[in-house]
Every structure is written in structure tokens, then in C-alpha cells.
Amino acid sequence: MTTDLVDGVDQRLKYFTYIPANVYPEVALGVYFIVGTILVILGVRTRAQRWVHILSGTAYAEALGYVFRTVCVTKTTFGMYVLMTLFLLLPPNAIALFNYKTIGEIIRTNNDRVGAQNKSKWRFWLKPKFVNWFYFSSDVFSILMQGAGGGMMTSYSTRNTGKSIVLVGLIVQLFFFACFLVTSVYVWRKPEYLVYQAPRDRSQAAAKRKIMINITATTILLYIRSIYRVAEFADGYGGKIYSAEWAFYVFDTIIVFVAFMVYIIFYIGPNFPQRKAASTTAAATTTTTTMGEPQEEEKSESSAQLVNHNNNNNYYYTS
């Protein structure tokens, strides 16, 4: 192994405060690359909407972060350490963005029907635009704060300022995670919020339960990771938490990996099919009526809506 010395100082100790292990980054790199590939295959096979591929992109970004960490194990430079820090700190924020988009889609596709049944539509925190842009903006703000602070922490002169900025970004993220969980639980408990029933779902209720377990479990896992990150940065550079490599792999690497496993096991891509694919499925369903005669489907000029054909609880998107 190459000795990473500059002016007699091991650069790994300068940046990490410890000598990073040589095997774990390679394992994590391989695992996240496989996870990303599985998610790409699932997305293509189920003809899921494009935004579902946020997950595979996030997994590949995580893998790239461990590429940089693998390099840093033997030769740590300022630029490589900055890239490693950013690619391991920021990508999980995209997982939160995926969850926000999922709940936003459920609310959007049910908005008109739910509004006709009760006044929930007029609650500002249940409006589709508010859910999408409020949480999306909070996620972007948190990413920018963490990215700026993470970059500043790699320099001795701005390390304390960078730590404070990252802490603010993480605390903001924790607050919005809590708000999002409240919104998610509300949508889960209200039976009027329906989802598309994929072919393999036993019932419409089972489809919704699968999606909400997915969202709730992964948001809680991200919450745990963010608490660890807050404690790490609050403890400071060189602190016990920052200097404990095992804590990073347990509360970051493994936690994020478990979140991806939840996404794979309870894959929700089939519940958010592309508009064309959903319309094709709907047309096939329409032609099998009790009278044996096809019924002409009325197409709405508005954006995608959730429709129930023949009272079979098989809701789908139409454009």
C-alpha cells in the first residue's frame, strides 16, 4: 500500500483523523452499483414513470461516492476528499425527494374526487402544488446548505463555519421530515386517497399499504441517518463520532442500503405506470363489461386522473 505522506504527515490522518479501512469502500461500491442496476431493470420492466428512476440515480451516486472513498484509502487529496464528502453526504437527500414526489402524486391524482367528497382539498398542506414544491424546496435548500458546508469543512480556516452550515441544513431537513411524516400518515389513514392497483397487488388496499409502508419506513431510516449526521457534526472534527469509522458504516452506509432494500422489496414502480401504459390497461379493462359490449372511455382534457372502472377498485391514470 502506498504511504500517503506530505511533509511527513499522513494525509489520511489529516482529513479522516484515522486510517480508513481498505475493504469496506469496495464492498459498498459493488453493493450500491448492483442496487442501482436492479432498480433500473425494475423501472424498465414495469414501465414506471420517469421520476421513479430517481432511486437508481441515487444508488449510482452513492456508488460513485465510495469510488472516491476507495481512492482516498491509499491517496487522500483535498479534491478527492471534497468529492467523497459531497457524494456520500448529499445523494440520500434524493431519496427524500422521491418520497415527496410519491405522496404528491397520490394527492394530485385524487385531488378532484376528494375535494368533491369533503373539504380536505382546501387544506393548504394537502394541495398537490404545495406538497410538491414545499418539500421539494426544503430538500433543495437542505442539499445546498449541506453541500456548501461540507465543502467548507475540508479547509482548516473555514471548518467551524462549514460545520455550522451543515448542522443548520441537517436540522432543517429533520424538521421537514417530521412534517412529511404527518402528511404521509394522514394520507395513509384516509380511505378516500386511492392508488393504482398493479396486476400483482391483491387489492387496492394492499397496493396502498405497500406504498405507505415503503414511504414511512424509508423516511424513518433517513431520519435516523440525519440524527447521526447531526451528532457527528455537532461533535466536531476529530470528535469521537467523527473519528469512529464503524459509526459511519452502520448509521450511513447500512442505513441507506436498508432503505434501498425496502424500495426493492416493496417496489412501487408498477403503481405509477406511464400514462400510455396505464391507458392501455384501462382500455383492456373497459372492453370486458358485464354486458359483453365495449364501453367508450371518456378522456379528460385535464392532467392525469384516477378512475375506477366497473367498480372493481382497479384505479388507473388517464391523460
| pLDDT tens by residue, 143-170 | 888 888 877 876 777 877 888 888 888 8
Specify the pTM.
Answer: 0.80
Query: How would you classify the pairing of strands 5-6 and 9-10?
Result: antiparallel
Mean pLDDT for the chain? 81
Buried-exposed string 99-113: b where 16+ CB fall within 10 A, e elsewhere: bbbbbbbbbbbbbeb
* 310/316: higher pLDDT: 316
Per-residue pLDDT at 270: 95
Secondary structure (DSSP) of 18-44 = S---SSHHHHHHHHHHHHHHHHHHHHH
Helix axes 159-189, 92-117, angle to 10 degrees: 30
- Cα 18 to the chain's mean position, in Å? 31
Question: In this predicted model, what pLDDT tens digit does every residue of 251-284 receive, in sequence order?
Answer: 999 999 999 999 999 999 999 998 765 554 444 4
Cβ 131 vs Cβ 100: under 8 Å: yes
pLDDT > 90? residue 14: no
In this predicted structure, the answer to whether residue 230 has a pLDDT above a threshold of 60 is yes
pLDDT at position 115 over 70: no
What lies within 8 Å, CB to CB, of 196 at 6+ separation is: 207, 270, 271, 272, 273, 278, 306, 315, 316, 317
What does the block give as the cell for 220?
Answer: 424513518
Cβ–Cβ under 8 Å, residues 81 and 72: yes
DSSP state at residue 167: H
Tell me, what's the pLDDT at 291? 39
Give backbone dihedrals phi and psi of 9, rounded to 5 degrees, phi first: -110, 130
C-beta separation of 145 from 86 below 8 A: no
Q: Write out the DSSP string of 244-302.
A: -HHHHIIIIIIHHHHHHHHHHHT--GGGSB-HHHHHHHHHHHHT--TTSS--PPPPPSS
